[in-house]
Structure 1
Amino acid sequence: MVRDEKSKTIFEIEGTVTALLPAAEFRVKLNNKHEIICHVSGRVRRSKIRIVIGDRVLVEMSIYDRNAKKGRIVRRLKGTTNEGTISG
């Protein structure tokens, strides 16, 4: 798939991790108040970035997911610490 075609089928949205689930999955509450199940992208996993409850994350979702229940965490956003509080 060409990069331009991929960007048309994937969109990104911010959310907050609300629960840790088995099998390296997370429950994330999106800014639009929906809750979805997410797994961590390979790049985040390779970089050994820790994701904990309360972290703000950037989630990729496919436009083809009819129920919008699954996503992929692609980035942990700045402004959160491992304790889930705002730094500063």
Structure 2
Amino acid sequence: MFSIDSAQLTAICGAGGGLIAGIAALFGVFGKRKSDLASSLNDQIRTLQEGYLGRIRELTEYIARQDEKIERLEARNADLEARLAKFQSNQGFGQ
């Protein structure tokens, strides 16, 4: 199953925060007071982190569903292989 640890999540979210700070600098947001800027950037980072976390949850659920499908297919394949072997042995092909 797919998993992500807290260090990876922190790196992903931190990268997003850096991106927002860079964009804010390009648009002259740094002309605001420091407290306004910090508050605005914190809000944007929080929103971005929530988006990342939501997407990570979606991807984790998708991967879990795919794992379940693979397990079912592997079980079906084993069943079909057993049935084929039985058929072949009954027909004399397995000798």
The bucket for the TM-score relative to the shorter chain is under 0.3
Higher helix proportion? 2
Q: Quick check: which has more Rg, 1 or 2?
A: 2
Higher strand proportion? 1
Query: Which has the bigger relative contact order, CA under 8 A and spacing at least 6?
Result: 2
